[in-house]
Amino acid sequence: MANIHVVLLLSPLLALTFCCLTFAADPASLQDFCVADSNNQGFACLLIAVKMNGLACKNPAWVQANDFSFSGLHNPGNTGNPFGSAVTPVTVAQIPGLNTLGISMVRIDYAPWGVVAPHYHPRATEILTVIEGSLEVGFVTSNPDNRLISKTLQKGDVFVFPVGLVHFQRNIGHMNVVAISGLSSQNPGVSTIANVVFGSKPDISTDILAKAFQVDKNIVQQIQWRF
């Protein structure tokens, strides 16, 4: 009789576990599309508001062609900044129809000698193609090797930046450069190394950064003040 009680007690837990494993094992979309509904970013579960990994789906009956389109990628970005570059994103924020599809893209404009500073995408691999001009690109492998893998690209060349690795681009010519990148996430995210290390809020302790970079604390403070 005791065994029956144990089985009855565990049955709901086992069913819940099986249910969760079933969802976790099926990452593919289970419908034609899930257009992001920016007005409904969560759902109620047991009277508790739960944040979704992504955005809730708009009612398919309300979906329009505009949910899957974006205009303006032909327009150059404004490179009048200290980096001499501009990124025009086309993610789920611009095309709601990208929600759950795991893909996005950007246009990147570079003024002469402009750079996209070292950064990484925590959620995406990037594949870049040069539309106009010459571009120096590269990424650094993870510890302990920290190997720099770089190349100069010409018009029509393609280069891949693996997910999570620090990478950069630089226009090495005297003319403007245009590139298009595809990313393997609807929301790839970006962490620029200088901003992360020296521009955190609140600041990382100057003692920690001085030791990490083997420089005087005053130098660290001067850099932090710039952010």
Please enumerate, by residue number, every residue annotated as part of a binding site.
Answer: 119, 121, 126, 167
Annotated binding site for Mn(2+): 119, 121, 126, 167
Strand, helix or coil for residue 100: coil
The annotated binding site for oxalate is made up of: 121, 126
| Token pair for 6 | 């144990």
> Over the range 158-180, which residues count as b (16 or more CB within 10 Å of their CB) and which as e?
ebebebeebbbbbbebeebbbbb
Question: Which alpha helices (DSSP H) does 55-102 contain, by range?
Answer: none
Q: Which residues contact 6 (CB under 8 A, 6 or more apart)?
A: none
Helix axes 217-225, 206-213, angle to 10 degrees: 110
